[in-house]
Amino acid sequence: MKKASRLTYKKAGVDIEKGDRFIDIIRPLAKRTFRSEVLTSVGSFSALFKLNLKKYRNPVLVSGTDGVGTKLKIAFMANRHDTVGIDLVAMCVNDILTCGAEPLFFLDYFATGKLSTGTAARVISGIADGCEEAGCALIGGETAEMPGFYRKGEYDLSGFVVGIVEKDRIIDGSKIREGDAIIGLSSNGLHSNGFSLVRKIFFDIHKMNSKKYMSEFGSSLEEELLRPTRIYTQAFNALKGKIVIKGMAHITGGGIPGNVKRIIPKGLKASINYPSWPSQPIFELIQKSGNVPHNDMKKTFNMGIGYIVIVDQRDEQKALLTLQKNGFDPYAIGAVKRIHRRQRGT
């Protein structure tokens, strides 16, 4: 066997020194999200977070994990990386929020073939922005450089969040009853779901230019597609303590039908009035351009509603006004109804 020339890890594609410099870049980004409970700085082997047990009587920790999915392909195409970090936080935080949890801290995983500190810093900056909005601390993560595993200029993201809720204040949908009101909070467009279908329609079939200005949106196509997922922590905080929340649902893959049913008790159903909120142009364009059946649209996309809150009918107007005063766009979109099964022989 021919003797190889002197080979180093850096020549093999992994630059440890660049990784160390990158930690110095992101350290201040993470530090601005820190809560008083954080005990360690970014760069340690592990992250420490001290629970304030005086604040809770019977605390339950809540965890969640998610990614951004193929929406990242749009970020690569546009070479815009400042919003997908917000998406990452939102997809995780909105999930644990549904049980009434307060987000405490967040960790990210960023993997790429060759580390571009500029691109990675923009991604992490977005994650820090999302954590600040959600009220949780970005206390750690992992940056992995894996030559040959990813295409040039591409990366993958995943995130992990931990929250806390009092055991007797867990919101699990068990108190939902017939007649309860269903309130929908406006989404910010597609959020982070359905992008495999979106890319198929716009870029594979119609060969659209992502930088083309679209009068429907008042922006380029890529700007519309990269609108970050909304974070609903502040909406929940606005209602908490003022109104009894019986159930909440984060509208992700599966749309309203697939996600609301996860919190509705047996024998009941969510009756949704789809014309009760304004239609967003992006969904109209997708359906028209792809000739997508309406039922497929409802099962794939959020259709303009990113989060759902279920309250007693008597609290509906108070909830709507409270959310409006706090900068959200809520709509009365339906009610909980009983499932009436036909008797045999009828």
CATH number, domain of 107, equals: 3.30.1330.10
39 and 138 share a domain?
A: yes
User: Does 345 have pLDDT greater than 50?
Assistant: no
| Domain-embedded: residue 1 | no
User: What does pLDDT average to over the chain?
Assistant: 92
| Domain-embedded: residue 140 | yes
The residue-averaged pLDDT of 122-145 equals 95
186 and 214 share a domain?
A: yes
| Domain-embedded: residue 343 | no
| Domain-embedded: residue 136 | yes
130 and 200 share a domain?
A: no
163 and 251 share a domain?
A: no
User: Does 324 have pLDDT greater than 80?
Assistant: yes
136 and 216 share a domain?
A: no
User: Does 23 have pLDDT greater than 70?
Assistant: yes
The residue-averaged pLDDT of 302-326 equals 98
67 and 206 share a domain?
A: no
| Domain-embedded: residue 125 | yes
The whole-number pLDDT of residue 342 equals 62
Task: Tell me how many domains the chain contains.
Answer: 2
134 and 229 share a domain?
A: no
Confidence of residue 339 (pLDDT cuts 50, 70, 90): very high
User: How many of the other CB atoms lie within 10 Å of CB of 46?
Assistant: 7
Domain C-terminal end among 134, 169, 204 = 169
- Give 338's strand partners: 268
The residue-averaged pLDDT of 139-143 equals 91
User: Rounded to whole angstroms, how far apart are CA atoms 207 and 219?
Assistant: 18
User: Does 237 have pLDDT greater than 50?
Assistant: yes
| Domain-embedded: residue 6 | no
| Domain-embedded: residue 345 | no
275 and 297 share a domain?
A: yes
* % of the chain surpassing 70 pLDDT: 94
Residue with tokens 């021919």: 2
240 and 290 share a domain?
A: yes
The whole-number pLDDT of residue 9 equals 65
The residue-averaged pLDDT of 36-63 equals 88
Contacts of 271 (CB under 8 A, 6+ apart): 182, 334, 335, 336, 337
Domain C-terminal end among 112, 137, 169 = 169
pLDDT digits (tens, 9 = 90+) for 75-121: 999 999 999 999 999 999 999 999 999 999 999 999 999 999 999 99
User: Does 146 have pLDDT greater than 80?
Assistant: yes
142 and 52 share a domain?
A: yes
271 and 126 share a domain?
A: no
| Domain-embedded: residue 78 | yes
The residue-averaged pLDDT of 226-252 equals 97
What's the farthest any 2 CA atoms get from each other in the chain? 85
The whole-number pLDDT of residue 17 equals 75
Residue 215's CATH number = 3.90.650.10
DSSP SS3 for 94: helix
Domain C-terminal end among 112, 145, 169 = 169
The whole-number pLDDT of residue 2 equals 64
Q: What is the DSSP string of 265-332?
A: PTTEEEEE-GGGSPPPHHHHHHHHHHT--HHHHHHHS-TTEEEEEEE-GGGHHHHHHHHHHTT--EEE
User: Does 186 have pLDDT greater than 60?
Assistant: yes
The whole-number pLDDT of residue 311 equals 98
Confidence of residue 12 (pLDDT cuts 50, 70, 90): low
Domain extent for 299: 181-338
The whole-number pLDDT of residue 1 equals 60
The whole-number pLDDT of residue 344 equals 44
The whole-number pLDDT of residue 45 equals 82
The whole-number pLDDT of residue 172 equals 96
The residue-averaged pLDDT of 186-191 equals 97
199 and 308 share a domain?
A: yes
